[in-house]
Amino acid sequence: MIFVVFLTFYPEAIYPYWIWTPKTKKWVNPKTMPRPTPKEQFEFARSFYDLKQYEEAKREFKKLLQAYPKSAEAAESQYYLGLIEEAQGNLYEAYLAYQKVIDKYPFSERIQEIIEHEYKIAERFMAGEKRKALGLTLPVENPAIEIFTKVIENSTYGPLAPAAQYKLGLVLKGLSRYYEAEEAFNKVISNYPQSEWVEAARFQIASCRAAVSRSPEYDQWATSEAKEKFEEFVKEYPDAVLSRDAEKNIQSLREKEAEANYNIGRFYEKQKSCAAARIYYEEVVENYADTPWAAKALERIQVLEKKKK
């Protein structure tokens, strides 16, 4: 037996009646009740989605998830929640919704499709896409780091994994996190040796080493390492487009090495250690003749010669 109670007060604020259900032994508001079956509830929710009435659709999909969490339609509902957030421009919320499908419904037929959605969202964050402020705390610096990492975890050897691994490195490099970026690029080479991203990853490793070499006098090792990496790249990929950039970097790093040796020579000269200074000046003249520092070093050698006389 069902009892209906009509309420005459506050008609605008609440639904006009509540229903007593013997099964649950509770009074319920029909407005908040799901349809009798998960399929009916899903179709009802999707009807709002098809009309782009996203808030209504979101409410009905969530209602299905609460009432029928183990149904086949639950995974689809969670997927549609991701579609809605993405359609509304809430990219990080969309990623979280999609990831819930993978975490809670790993046998969903949508998994590969969801990974593609996540990858594209990460690319948009990588390109500088902003998000709507909905009260969620974003990962530090750039959400693309978290999302690319998840794409790799979700499908370690899937078709998008090598690209996600490479682009993760680019994001980290862009944030000046060079050691982490180099590690990410190295994983492209070790985990996906046959992928099209290996060549670019090798170049980026050398580029990271170059970026680490801040000042010539204090970081000669990093400069030398970077130059060697670029030389290895040119040797391995002589016809690659990036080889031209690598050669420019080699020249720039050679100039840094020459500058470092010249500055060490100046240091010894100021300390009145002329013999030691001359060793470094001669190193610049003999091995870095194609840099501007060779002429400066030769000039200092001539000064030292005059001092001897």
pLDDT of residue 264: 82
What is the amino acid identity at position 55? Answer: E
| In contact, 168 and 132? CB cutoff 8 Å | no
State how far the Cα of 230 lies from the Cα of 232, in Å rounded to an integer. Answer: 5
pLDDT of residue 139: 54
| Ramachandran sector of residue 71 (left: φ over 0; alpha: ψ -120 to 50; beta: rest) | beta
pLDDT of residue 99: 97
- Which residues are registered as beta bridge partners of 3? 20
State how far the Cα of 213 lies from the Cα of 228, in Å rounded to an integer. Answer: 13
pLDDT of residue 217: 45
pLDDT of residue 130: 62
Closest C-alpha to 45, from 32, 62, 30? 62
Residue 135 CB burial class (10 angstroms; 0-12, 13-18, ≥19): exposed
Tens of each residue's pLDDT in the chain, 309 residues: 444 444 444 444 444 555 545 555 554 455 667 789 999 999 999 999 999 999 999 999 999 999 999 999 999 999 999 999 999 999 999 999 999 999 999 999 999 999 999 999 999 999 887 654 445 555 556 899 999 999 999 998 899 999 999 999 999 999 999 999 999 999 999 999 999 999 999 999 999 988 887 544 446 667 787 878 888 888 888 877 788 888 888 888 888 888 888 888 888 788 888 888 888 888 888 888 888 988 988 888 888 887 776
pLDDT of residue 224: 80
State how far the Cα of 49 lies from the Cα of 184, in Å rounded to an integer. Answer: 39
Q: Give me the residue spans of the domains in the chain.
A: 1-30
Q: What is the 3-state secondary structure (H, E, C) of 10-30?
A: CCCCCCCEEEEECCCCEEECH
Q: Which one-letter DSSP state was computed for residue 4? A: E
